Amino acid sequence: MPDVLVIGAGIVGLACAWSALKEGLTVTLVDRDFDGDRTSHGNAGGIAVTESTPISVPGLFFKASKWLLDPLGPLALDWKHVPSALPWFLEFQRASSPTRFRQISLALAALNNRVYDDLVPMFEDVGAMSTFYRRGAITLYETDEAFYADADEWKLKRELGVRWRALNQQEVREYEPALAPVFRHGIFLEDWSHIGDPKQLVSQLRGRVNALGARLVEDVVTKLDVSKGDAPAAVLRNGESIHARQVVVATGAWSAALAESVGDRVLLDSERGYNTTLPQPGIALSREVIFAERKFVATPLDIGIRIGGAAEFAGLKAAPNYKRSDALLTLGKRFLPGIRDEGAVQWMGHRPATPDSLPVIGKSPTTANVIYAFGHGHLGLTQCATTGALVADLLVNRTPRTSLEEYSIKRFRK
């Protein structure tokens, strides 16, 4: 029987497995399809350590109503999904209250401010440093109004430890000449970085976990069985079980059902994201650029420029709506004139989103040998190694140096 059973082989699950193996623990890793597409493959590649404020900013609901009417807007909603998602949206709105907003921001900063301490050793171990680019990023503003509207949030981020400086229109052009000359303001984010190929990183990390001795089992876990308290089990689709001394649930947007199988409630939804990767873009960017008003990004990956973003709420089962990718590419062409789309590859993935933008990290309050590591939203790649380090602390009964109270699944007991 292994010391640890990790369910889920996305970037967070793999980081948890890697950290457990580095502690000398035996690990079994279960995933439905190790080589299949996953959210960790198609993200924009950003190490977004500056994103220390929740998605639910004050006033967002009023903006969202306008976005829903805009075919090129950053938000889409399948109205058939609304009834089941209503509790999530109500809690999302509550997260924007001034007191809760600041509380969440402090909790996000507590994770993001230690990211490189955890991430760099993992990248070094798996051989990813050659495709790890610490060049910063630029947030772009087309209008004075939007720039000044975000001033309070940027001030708060500075208080939280984010290093940034404002750029004028000419400086933006000097940093990224390929941009259309329409951006009146920019914010240079000193500590942002990006990787060259998210899918390659997942493969490197999985290969290293395998080399360190993990057993890989390709199957679907339907529920957890904790009837034997000292040996929880993952029940597979054929009815067989895999027992372990401790179980880590890291199945991203699919994690709610496993948590519910041991009596833990969580508000978790799929915030479906879209992108298009342009393998021969014909232009160059030096770093990731974030289009503040349009809520999308463009990243210079080793495999081409990836234009992605958007948020679509339609659940886990609805078919992809690649008109969202088309809309993002249309915006990309507007702001990156001359970009070429030959061989463009479209993609959709399920971001595991909690309404308060905080991940779920920590022990189950009902079953102490079940540990949760999911719900990272836009920050799975950013926070993966830190989550793995915190999970490893719990696995070996070590007090985590970052308190886990804010990330506990207990916050959804209402």
- Tens of pLDDT, residue by residue over 190-235, are 999 999 999 999 999 999 999 999 999 999 999 999 988 788 999 9
Indicate if the alpha-carbon torsion angle 395, 401, 407, 408 is positive or negative.
Answer: positive
User: Do 313 and 273 contact (CB within 8 A), yes or no?
Assistant: no
pLDDT at position 86 is 92
DSSP string, 43-108: S--EE-TT--S-S--TTHHHHHHHHTT-TTSSEEE-GGGHHHHHHHHHHHHHTTSHHHHHHHHHHH
pLDDT at position 62 is 63
pLDDT at position 228 is 80
Q: Is the per-residue pLDDT at 71 higher than 90?
A: no
Q: Is the per-residue pLDDT at 66 higher than 80?
A: no
**Which single residue is written with the structure tokens 């907003």?**
101
pLDDT at position 73 is 74
The whole-angstrom separation of Cα 61 and Cα 67 is 10
Q: Is the per-residue pLDDT at 68 higher than 80?
A: no
Q: Is the per-residue pLDDT at 72 higher than 70?
A: no
The average pLDDT across 79-94 equals 90
The whole-angstrom separation of Cα 286 and Cα 277 is 16
The whole-angstrom separation of Cα 243 and Cα 296 is 43
Token digits of residue 305: 């420029």
Amino acid, res. 7? I
Q: Which of 270, 386, 268 is nearest to 12 (CA)?
A: 386
Q: Bigger pLDDT: 379 or 37?
A: 379
Confidence of residue 58 (pLDDT cuts 50, 70, 90): confident
Give per-residue pLDDT as tens, 388-413: 999 999 999 999 999 999 999 999 98
Confidence of residue 59 (pLDDT cuts 50, 70, 90): confident
Confidence of residue 79 (pLDDT cuts 50, 70, 90): confident
pTM across the whole model? 0.96
Q: Mean pLDDT across the chain, nearest whole number?
A: 95
pLDDT at position 65 is 66
User: Do 275 and 325 contact (CB within 8 A), yes or no?
Assistant: yes
Q: Is the per-residue pLDDT at 108 higher than 70?
A: yes
Give per-residue pLDDT as tens, 279-291: 999 999 999 999 9
Domain of residue 67 covers: 4-412
Give per-residue pLDDT as tens, 135-168: 999 999 999 999 999 999 999 999 999 999 999 9
pLDDT at position 77 is 84
Q: Is the per-residue pLDDT at 39 higher than 80?
A: yes
Q: Which of 297, 220, 292, 280 is nearest to 42 (CA)?
A: 297
pLDDT at position 57 is 81
Token digits of residue 406: 């804010």
Q: Across-strand partners of 46?
A: 194
pLDDT at position 35 is 87
Main-chain phi, psi angles of 53, to 5 degrees: -125, 150
The enclosing domain of 38 has a CATH number of 3.50.50.60
User: Do 331 and 294 contact (CB within 8 A), yes or no?
Assistant: yes
Please return the burial class of 237, using the count of CB atoms within 10 Å of its CB with bins 0-12, 13-18 and 19+.
Answer: exposed
| Residue 275 CB contacts under 8 Å (≥ 6 apart), including other chains | 42, 44, 306, 307, 308, 309, 325, 328, 346, 347
Give per-residue pLDDT as tens, 312-331: 999 999 999 999 999 999 99
Q: Is the per-residue pLDDT at 311 higher than 70?
A: yes
Give per-residue pLDDT as tens, 345-355: 999 999 999 99
Report the number of secondary-structure helices (H) and strands (E) in the chain. 13, 21
Q: Could you give the 3-state DSSP secondary structure of residue 209?
A: helix
pLDDT at position 179 is 98
Name the domain count of the chain: 1
Q: Is the per-residue pLDDT at 269 higher than 90?
A: yes
The percentage of the chain sitting over the pLDDT mark of 70, rounded to a whole number, equals 97
